[in-house]
């Protein structure tokens, strides 16, 4: 209600849902770095900044990307529910679903649901591409492995 019923409210709702999932996963990833890797980097003369950049952040990125794929689904659900609750005329797919429900128009409702599915799949594939690019050092993303 603080942000109204427009686009900003939908963005804030989706961001709030995703933020806590990703934040706590990233935090846990940073805490679960192998202490031997940190000790080895210190032994080899790495500064704290270099340890953070080369050891801690890559380890936490794996946890972050593990949480991003389900977060996409939650964000889409949050936006659609936001449109259910405060959709304005000419709104998005959530508004189309509610309008189709009210007029018993199953074809428009199915189009909106299929569009949501396609958007979710495309976003998940995009996250997967970014993950493969940023985590190319991991064994499962190496070519020929």
Q: Average pLDDT for residues 79-89, to the nearest whole number? A: 73
Query: Given a cut of 80, is residue 77 above it in pLDDT?
Result: yes
Query: Given a cut of 90, is residue 87 above it in pLDDT?
Result: no
pLDDT digits (tens, 9 = 90+) for 15-69: 888 999 999 999 998 899 889 989 999 999 999 999 999 889 888 888 898 898 8
- Per-residue confidence (pLDDT) for residue 119, from 0 to 100: 92
Pair 5, 88: CB distance under 8 Å: yes
The alpha carbon torsion through 82, 87, 91, 97 (nearest 10 deg) reads 80
Domains in the chain: boundaries: 7-141
Q: pTM of the entire structure? A: 0.73
- Per-residue confidence (pLDDT) for residue 39, from 0 to 100: 92
Pair 13, 78: CB distance under 8 Å: yes
> What CATH class is the domain 7-141?
mainly alpha
- Per-residue confidence (pLDDT) for residue 90, from 0 to 100: 57
Grouping H, G, I as helix, E, B as strand and the rest as coil, residue 33 is coil
Of 9-13, 67-71, 101-105, which gets the smallest average pLDDT?
A: 9-13
What average pLDDT does the structure give for the chain? 85
pLDDT digits (tens, 9 = 90+) for 51-65: 999 889 888 888 898
């Amino acid at each position: 209600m603080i942000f109204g019923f427009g686009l900003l409210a939908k963005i804030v709702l989706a961001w709030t849902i995703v933020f806590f999932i990703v934040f706590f996963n990233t935090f846990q990833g940073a805490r679960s770095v192998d202490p031997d890797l940190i000790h080895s980097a210190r032994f080899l003369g790495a500064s704290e900044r270099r340890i953070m950049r080369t050891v801690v952040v890559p380890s936490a990125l794996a946890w972050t990307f593990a949480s991003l794929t389900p977060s996409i689904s939650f964000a889409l659900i949050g936006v659609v529910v936001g449109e259910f609750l405060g959709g304005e005329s000419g709104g998005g797919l959530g508004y189309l679903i509610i309008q189709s429900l009210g007029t018993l128009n199953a074809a428009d409702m199915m189009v909106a649901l299929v569009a949501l599915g396609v958007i979710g799949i495309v976003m998940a594939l995009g996250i997967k591409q970014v993950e493969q690019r940023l985590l190319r050092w991991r064994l499962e993303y190496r070519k020929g492995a």
